[in-house]
Amino acid sequence: MKIILASDHGGTNLRKEIASLLDELEIQYEDIGCDCAGSVDYPDYGIPAAERVANGEFDKGILICGTGIGMSISANKVKGIRAALVHDLFSAKATREHNDSNVLCMGERVIGPGLAIEIVRTWVSTEYEGGRHANRVGKIAEYENK
């Protein structure tokens, strides 16, 4: 599995913690920043990262900003992206099983690093169930391809 990791200034600390976790899990990833002292605009990081998932260069993306909301809105504008804003373990598991989410968004200002790390562990290790969910996910793709 190859993951692309990005954040704005509001998510830099958590992004670095997640990078350490991916190292520990021996999951291949590319961290595209930001390497910022000042503030940056989340779409400048979220959209390029999402595009690189959509074009198949990466299997999944993890995007962090202050709330996770800006990153999730941005990523979901990219065709083929199913970005999930997740701040609890139930949703981390369910969004992989049911939505086949390919981008995980979290807010560094919303949750602590301990929970965020457990969310990433759950999200990367949970498989999509397909079955009855495939029809629903398929309808999203159908709409995108209209």
Q: Which residues bind ligand RB5 (CB under 6 A)?
A: 8, 10, 42, 65-67, 69-70
Task: Compare residues 10 and 29 and give the one whose CB is closer to ligand RB5.
Answer: 10
Task: Compare residues 29 and 42 and give the one whose CB is closer to ligand RB5.
Answer: 42
Residue 98 bears catalytic tag: yes
Residue 9 bears catalytic tag: no
- Measured between alpha carbons, how far is 120 from 75 in angstroms, rounded to an integer? 18
Report the chain's terminal Cα–Cα distance, integer Å. Answer: 30
Least CB distance to ligand RB5 at residue 15 (A): 11
Least CB distance to ligand RB5 at residue 37 (A): 14
- Measured between alpha carbons, how far is 71 from 45 in angstroms, rounded to an integer? 8
By the 10 Å C-beta count (0-12 exposed, 13-18 middle, 19+ buried), 33 is classed as middle
Task: Compare residues 10 and 61 and give the one whose CB is closer to ligand RB5.
Answer: 10
Rg of the chain on CA atoms, in Å: 14
Residues forming the active site: 65, 98
